[in-house]
Copies of this chain bind each other. A is one copy, B any other.
Amino acid sequence: MTTTTRTPTPAEIRETHTGPTAGLADGYAQANLIAVPRDWAYDVLLFTQRNPKPCPVLDVTDEGGTTTVLAGNADLMRHIPRYRIWDHGELVDEPTDATPHWRDDLVAFLIGCSFTFETALKKENVPLRHVEQQRNVPMYVTDRQCRPAGRLHGPVVVSMRYIPENLVHRATTITARMPAVHGAPVHIGDPTAIGITDLDEPDFGDPTEPHPGDVPVFWACGVTPQAAVMASKPPFAITHAPGHMFVTDVPDTNYLI
């Protein structure tokens, strides 16, 4: 990072940042990653098509490709803050540079991330508790199953934001206009209705503290492919670490309908 206090650019964040990316890169879209061998790419692409709420695809690389139209100069092998390396569904490493693990037969999928609509929420005065509390967003595995595709199956993962009750309608309508980054909430209110027993124990990310009158609001989450990797055990996969997103050069408003 430079020593000035100006906001870092997406390229600077990609080059240097190793933590969660919520609240960073205001105004730019962020993306989830899942890269699989070409032999599994059709299953993943069909899985995303059949589950567009958790898996809205923003770009797909050609086999062996490590660049994307979403950020012309970025290297997908090392420009994500933290990666997860998966061997037959088991998490085996969590490096900040995936170059040593990358393979020539990998196809990489970049999937919309809900951090992308947070600037729009903030502009409309919807508070973001996880950003205020300097935490990663909490994410939960639900009891809802994705529609399977080929060899891939697994549950829907959601991110949760506590929203003041009188702003839930606003958060819903703002995010509904951005379907490419998960769109409207999939559930509002009682977490047990979607199989979540304890909001203080997220499956990924950090717990957050509600303010009095806050309601939990749940959005489909791009960690869903990682839950599918755990459930379906493809021989190899590389993903981002939850909350540690690929920061793109694409203005978030490009995904506003």
Contacts and interface: CB of A to CB of B under 8 A. Distances in A.
Interface of A: 41-42, 45-46, 48-50, 57, 60, 62, 150, 176-177, 179, 257
A87 to B, nearest CB: 24
B45 A46 contact: yes
A178 to B, nearest CB: 10
Contacts of A257: 176-177, 179, 257
A60 B179 CA distance: 20
Contacts of A45: 42, 45-46, 49
A154 B174 CA distance: 36
A34 to B, nearest CB: 14
A135 B36 CA distance: 47
A179 B52 CA distance: 13
Nearest 3 Cβ contacts at the A-B interface: A42-B42, A45-B45, A49-B57
Nearest to A49: B57
A177 B41 CA distance: 31
A159 to B, nearest CB: 21
A57 B50 CA distance: 9
Given A42-B42, A49-B60, A179-B257, 15 more contacts: A41-B42, A42-B45, A45-B45, A45-B46, A45-B49, A46-B60, A48-B49, A49-B49, A49-B57, A50-B60, A62-B150, A176-B257, A177-B257, A179-B179, A257-B257
Contacts of A46: 45, 60
Contacts of A49: 45, 48-49, 57, 60
A69 to B, nearest CB: 8
18 contacts: A41-B42, A42-B42, A42-B45, A45-B45, A45-B46, A45-B49, A46-B60, A48-B49, A49-B49, A49-B57, A49-B60, A50-B60, A62-B150, A176-B257, A177-B257, A179-B179, A179-B257, A257-B257
Contacts of A57: 49
Contacts of A60: 46, 49-50
Contacts of A62: 150
A172 B226 CA distance: 38
Residue in A42, A150, A179 with the greatest tally of chain B CB atoms within 10 Å: A42
